[in-house]
Amino acid sequence: MTNEPMTIAQFQALIRDRYHDTDAARGVAPTFLWFAEEFGELAEALARQARGDGKQENLAEEFADVLAWLATLANITGVDLTEAIHDKYIEDGGPEGTK
């Protein structure tokens, strides 16, 4: 694989192609628990970075894991992330307010 830019749709398809059968068999609730665990690992990596003893490579890996598990959840629940992002944040200028 190259370092070429990848769209959200391409990434979601990559995750679907590699893992969908296993992920669908596992189900939503157990998959969400895996996602939560990865989210916790990202939190730990961010905390290490904030303390000055984290490694950038580990931080990047944890972000990638969280994104992969999010794509997995979207896949097994039938959500097209590109469409969801477009509908929520692009169409009509996105939601009002600040984040």
- What is the rounded average pLDDT for all residues in the chain? 94
Domain locations along the chain: 28-77
DSSP characters over 61-90: HHHHHHHHHHHHHHHHHT--HHHHHIIIII
Instruction: Report yes or no: 76 and 28 within 8 Å, Cβ to Cβ.
Output: yes
- Copy the structure tokens of residue 67: 């994104």
Predicted confidence (pLDDT) per residue in 20-68, tens digit: 999 999 999 999 999 999 999 999 999 999 999 999 999 999 999 999 9
Instruction: Report yes or no: 32 and 73 within 8 Å, Cβ to Cβ.
Output: yes
Q: Which residue has the higher pLDDT, 99 or 63?
A: 63
Whole-number pLDDT of residue 56: 96
